[in-house]
Structure 1
Amino acid sequence: MCTAACHHGRSEAPSAPPQASGGADVVEQIRKLKELHEAGILTDAEFSTKKTELLDRL
């Protein structure tokens, strides 16, 4: 039986938990975003928005 907190049947990924390594993880995520941006997968606006969100975590 499912409870109120159950995510049964949902395919969405859970929110990322707070990072223990803090800044190092944020920097790595920005590097990955940069690769996606350079490959043309992310627009300038998408890259900038996500980068700002990640930097706000520091």
Structure 2
Amino acid sequence: MIREGLTINISIIKAAPEHTEEISRICSIGWRQTVQGVYDEEYQAKNVEHWCKLAHYSRSSISN
């Protein structure tokens, strides 16, 4: 749905360590929505734990 006259301001910034919790949450939700009905809950949980956990993002290229 597009609403006329609606303005959204978006800023794109480099990810920083304080963003890891939200990045992890978004990763988890997005992946689960993508595979919903395709993979069982156990498989989803294992993959979320591996790919979307906080430690993954805090070790990756997110830095000051």
TM-score, normalization: structure 2?
0.43
Q: Which of 1 and 2 has higher RCO (CA within 8 Å, sep 6+)? A: 2
- Indicate the structure with greater helix content: 2
